[in-house]
Amino acid sequence: MLFNSLEFLAFLIIFLGLWPLLRRQRNRRWIGIVAASFFFYGWWDWRFCFLLVGSGLVDFFAAGAMQRYPQRKKLLLLVSIAANLGTLATFKYLDFAIDNLNALLPALGIDSQLAPMRLMLPIGISFYTFQSMSYTIDVYRGQIAPTRNVLHFFAYLAMFPQVVAGPVVRASSMLDQLDAPVCPTERDRWEGLQLMVRGFFKKMVIADGLAPLVAAAFDNTTVVPSAAYWWIIMAMFAFQIYGDFSGYSDIARGIARWMGYDFPLNFNHPYLATSFRDFWSRWHISLSTWFRDYVYVPLGGSQRGVWRSHANLWATMLISGLWHGAAWTFVGWGAVHAACLSIERITHWPRRLLALPGGRHAAALVVFATVLLGWVFFRATSFAQAGTVLAMMFGTHGLNTAAVHQLLHWRDLVPLAIMLLYHGWLHFDPPLPRLHWAGPVLQPAALAMLIWCCVYLRGPGNAFIYFQF
Amino acid sequence: MKRLMQYRIACTLTLAVLLIGATALRRGADDGEALKADLFWAQKLSWRAEASCVIAGDSRACRALVPNVLDKTHSRRRTLNFAFDSSGYSAAYLNAIEAVLDPHATERIVLLGITPYSLTPTALATNEFEYRRNWMPFQSMAGLYAKQSLRYVHPMRVDQAYDDLIAAMPKAATNAERDREFHDDGWLAMNRHDGRENVYAEHYRASFEGNTVDSEIVEQLLQYVRDWREKGIRVIAFRPPVSEIILSIENEYSGFDESAFRAAFEAAGGRWIDIEPTRYVTYDGSHVGREEAERFTANLAKNLASLPIERVFADSSN
């Protein structure tokens, strides 16, 4: 069930309508959340629910056993991690491994080829396995106590606003919230509504409006020979993926806020970053911090010397790239960011640039342009295509603005212009008069206008990009 | 003010409903036309294994070929016009053409309307086929008819929003739409007779600036022709009606060499029919109205009937 569908709208109205009856009593609350979440998740394919239940039960019992048999908790943690990573490897990476093995076999003098398994990829598997894994790791580290109620656990793991595409919510914050009595205020509901509407606008108007143009550019068999065209297309893709993913996060956070819960901030205007470190503290924050806490720090972080810290950084970024998709292009994307972070650590260029007049603008521009180059690997279907697009962007066939006029209508540029103007406004942060008195009138009017835009200016209804991860 | 703060959710939702309601009423009449077009293109996209003869090409083929007229000469043939505006011969489009053919038909024909523009990179990048394929939020025809009930919240493009809601003459742009007649067999009949054959000459010339016929696109098309021939599908091509002015612009600026293309097409196993495309009156230099479309199709049908019989029985493995 997509957030941007009529069936979800009906589902949400019914659920939020029943919520005041469900939220008062603990068990009823958990049963309500679990039932709604499995209905929501099973809407795609009911068979997916079994994997979610299986994966969750392993971690629920492993965490419980850790408390009961502390001397065996390392073994139990290994079982839990093996089960989670095994599931992920089977459903997401098996065919990728087989394809690579098949490419290697002839070099080893073996003629036969392995047949790919073509297993269906359950939606959101990368998100809920990471969330479930963090629960057992936190219990192992003694940072949280395991819950004894399986409904409590599944209300956390499968909670419908975030089960398929995050934010990756930590058990340490969510289990307590789900346990305590919840009583959303009028302010919670208002903030929830604002978040939901902003999220729908980002997804339906911005991301879906840009999606067909980016798809047409990358699906085309003949690459358009124009630097101007490809920089615009990549800027469109940057805001498409941002609108798509941060839109989903905003909707998820908005629903949670309406229910009286707090999900962590997942995106904090990443394209305003003035360094790559800054970028990763603003982009997909819940996943970045997950990788920091459960991969980078356990590897030694920056505590074991300069070279080791760079090696840890590279390992984390390459794994993060592979998490996004079972293809080498995603690893390439991770490598671009790892290289940028490494260079930044060695040269400290952002600090030096920021000290110069206008340095903040220059730093933001450099980071944004480099991020666009990185997105080429993320969006391209092969390194060959990425190479061709990058060559065009670096002007091997000239700027060729005529291609822009020919291939893009002015209306195509409207979503991009909205996002660039909005980010520009935030970046320059002009001193605007504070209109406290007008807030109660302007805010509902602005929000109603955004709802109108979602209804009438929505783009083609595409699924969320991050569902595939 | 404090009271307003208390009811801000209700205020927001009420205001949104009022805005949407006002918009729906303002553009209700035009939406019917837009919805008709949506249903027409979506119906085409829903065709699977339905025809023994498929017409393909861009807006010229879409308007110039009348399936009903073609089927009159052959009682067992079922023809569908699968042409899309501005369509180029991309792999996706060529695959879709084949999917429309009924694998169990005793004779299977693909009729390709060849225009120079349909072999250019721009036609592959932006065309009605890709646009509609990406746009349609509903996959089934049942869903499409359900969509009729949602006509008042039908989305619009930004420029359309300006025309519909803000511009002083919102109806002016829709006159051309009113001339359209959508047929179930995929033919888009135009009830227009104004012979303004020069009016788009400059536009045509500009459309080939930095966008000429691409040899890779041509080769890809020829490869499909070879594959189709191997599967027993007859592939017949022709140049749709066009005015002399536009024809000379195409020949001069598009990089299209009809005789070379024809030779390569026939070498790939296709059959080229020459029906003198400039003999028909166009309303804008490259599109024909209803009567001329019927005349053109009747001529094409005569040419088809004169071709040697080549009956191919479908391979049971298909």
CATH code where residue B201 lies: 3.40.50.1110
Size of interface A-B (CB pairs under 8 A): 106
Question: What is the rounded CA–CA span in Å between residue A55 and residue A79?
Answer: 11
Marked catalytic residue, from A152, A284, A324, A337:
A324
Question: Is B187 contained in some domain?
Answer: yes
For residue B198, what are the contacts with CB-CB under 8 A and spacing of at least 6? Answer: B245, B285
Q: Report strand pairing: B53-56 vs B79-81.
A: parallel
Averaged pLDDT for residues A176-197: 91
Contacts of B5 in chain A (CB under 8 A): 440
Mutation target among B2, B15, B127 for the A interface, most CBs of A within 10 A: B15
The torsion angles phi and psi of B234, rounded to 5 degrees, stand at: -80, 135
In chain A, the percentage of residues whose pLDDT exceeds 90 is 59
| Whether the predicted pLDDT of A390 surpasses 50 | yes
CB A193 within 8 Å of CB B12? yes
> Token pair for residue B17?
């409903």
ipTM given for this complex? 0.81
Angstrom distances, CA of residue B288 to CA of A245, B55, B61, B237: 47, 16, 10, 18
For residue B6, pLDDT beyond 80: no
Q: How many Å apart are CA B83 and CA B40, to the nearest integer? A: 12
Contact B23 A410 (CB under 8 A): no
Per-residue confidence band for A303, with pLDDT thresholds at 50, 70 and 90: confident
CA dihedral A285, A288, A291, A297 (to 10 degrees): -100
**Average of pLDDT values for B233-255?**
92
B268 vs B207, higher pLDDT: B268
Does pLDDT of B316 surpass 70? no
Number of independent structural domains in chain B: 1
Q: Residue A452 above 60 pLDDT?
A: yes
CA distances from A368 to A32, A139, A198, A422, B258 (A): 43, 39, 23, 15, 47
Asked if residue A125 has pLDDT above 60, the reply is yes
**Range of B272's domain?**
2-306
Task: Look up A324 and say whether it is catalytic.
Answer: yes
Q: How confident is the model at residue B261 (pLDDT cuts 50, 70, 90)?
A: very high
Q: Does B312 reside within a domain?
A: no
Closest residue of chain B to A190, computed from CA coordinates: B9
> Is position B225 within any domain?
yes
- Interface contact flag, B134 A211, Cβ < 8 Å: yes
pLDDT, residue A254, reads 95
A465 touches chain B (CB under 8 A): no
Q: Residue B293's pLDDT band (boundaries 50, 70, 90)?
A: very high
Q: What is the pLDDT of residues B22-73, one digit of tens each?
A: 888 776 655 566 667 777 888 888 898 989 999 999 999 999 999 999 888 7
Structure tokens given for A114: 């392995």
Residue B177, pLDDT > 70, answer no
pLDDT tens per residue, range A233-264: 999 999 999 999 999 999 999 999 999 999 99
Least confident of A219-223, A344-348, B25-29: B25-29
Determine which of B49-58, B85-94, B304-313 has the lowest per-residue pLDDT on average.
B304-313
pLDDT per position as a tens digit, B184-193: 999 999 887 6
Instruction: List, as one string, the DSSP characters of B52-105.
Output: SEEEE-SHHHHHH--HHHHHHT-TT--EEE---TT----HHHHHHHHHHB-TT-
Task: Indicate the pLDDT class of residue A308, thresholds 50, 70 and 90.
Answer: very high
Maximum Cα–Cα distance across chain A: 78
Indicate the residue of A409, A437, A440 with minimum beta-carbon distance to B8: A440
Q: Which of B15, B20, B83, B25 is nearest to B54 (CA)?
A: B83
A216: closest chain B residue by CA: B125
- Return the pLDDT at A330: 94
Q: Is B12–A193 a contact, with Cβ atoms under 8 angstroms apart?
A: yes
Sequence-distant (6+) residues with CB within 8 A of B127 are B58, B84, B85, B86, B87, B88, B90, B93
CB contact under 8 A, B161 and A451: no
Query: What would the mean pLDDT of A339-349 be, rounded to a whole number?
Result: 95
Tell me the β-bridge partners of B112.
B56, B237
Residue of B nearest to A191 (CA): B9
Nearest to B18 by CA among A200, A448, A455: A448
A465, pLDDT greater than 70: no
Helical H segments across B104-214, by residue range: 121-125, 128-135, 141-148, 158-161, 175-178, 201-207
Give the best residue of B2, B8, B144 to mutate against chain A (max A CB count within 10 A): B8
Q: State the average pLDDT for chain A.
A: 89
